[in-house]
């Protein structure tokens, strides 16, 4: 029997990580789901707010092992997962897959990124469809874009959207509060 939650998680992770792993200056494919569109936007904001992530672009070590260690640090403490930690982990994984400018890596390194992308999807699916499935279910799962988010929602504060936009993001809360800022377009 098919596991819808695992399939949805795999689709979201595949969309985001392939988006990150694409060749530089290659146009991005449209997001495959509303959640994927929001994850891309949230991840861009996390990268902007955490410039130290950029040091990991073009990482040549074991990406899968590094993400596994990061997941253990972020998700296994006394407080457990939160949407902020989940988004940070996925952003970090995506950053590791970002390719350097053309001409700096050969075919072998490019194949390594593609392989790592598949392995990271599988590994993170185990995290969110296995180890943290109960938490994911308790927090609404990867919520489809079927509801209007209220103007005081933490999602709107995170994205800097003023009000009334249809936005999808997993339900839950982020640690701390962010200050909203004006943005003329949605990611």
For the chain, give every domain's residue range: 4-143
Give residue 77's pLDDT. 63
CATH of domain 4-143: 1.10.437.10
Determine the pLDDT at residue 23: 83
pLDDT for residue 59: 80
| Cβ neighbours of residue 175 closer than 8 Å, sequence gap 6 or more | 82, 84, 85
Contact indicator for 46, 92 with CB cutoff of 8 Å: no
Tens place of pLDDT for every residue, the chain, 187 residues? 467 788 888 999 999 999 998 888 889 999 998 888 889 999 999 988 888 888 888 787 899 999 999 998 888 767 778 888 888 999 999 999 987 666 666 666 767 788 899 999 999 998 888 888 888 887 777 754 334 444 434 444 444 433 333 333 343 333 333 333 333 233 4
Q: How far apart are CA 185 and CA 92, in angstroms?
A: 24
User: At a CB cut-off of 8 Å and minimum separation 6, what does 148 contact?
Assistant: 164, 166
CA dihedral of residues 38, 184, 21, 137 (deg, nearest 10): -10
Say what the pLDDT of residue 113 is: 83
Is the pTM higher than 0.85? The answer reads no
């Amino acid at each position: 029997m098919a596991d819808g939650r695992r399939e949805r998680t795999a689709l979201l992770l595949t969309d985001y990580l392939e988006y990150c792993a694409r060749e530089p200056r290659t146009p991005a494919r449209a997001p495959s789901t509303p959640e994927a569109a929001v994850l891309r936007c949230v991840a861009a904001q996390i990268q902007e707010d955490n410039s130290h992530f950029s040091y990991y672009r073009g990482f040549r070590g074991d990406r899968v092992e590094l993400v596994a260690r990061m997941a253990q640090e972020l998700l296994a403490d006394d407080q457990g997962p939160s949407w902020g930690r989940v988004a940070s982990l996925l952003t970090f994984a995506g950053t590791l897959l970002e390719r350097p400018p053309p001409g700096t890596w050969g075919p072998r390194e490019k194949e390594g990124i593609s392989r790592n992308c598949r392995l990271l999807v599988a590994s993170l699916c185990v995290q969110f469809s296995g180890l943290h499935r109960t938490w994911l279910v308790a927090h609404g799962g990867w919520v489809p874009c079927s509801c209007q988010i209220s103007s005081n929602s933490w999602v709107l504060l995170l994205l800097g959207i003023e009000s009334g936009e249809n936005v999808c993001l997993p339900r839950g809360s982020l640690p701390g509060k962010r200050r909203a800022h004006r943005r003329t377009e949605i990611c």
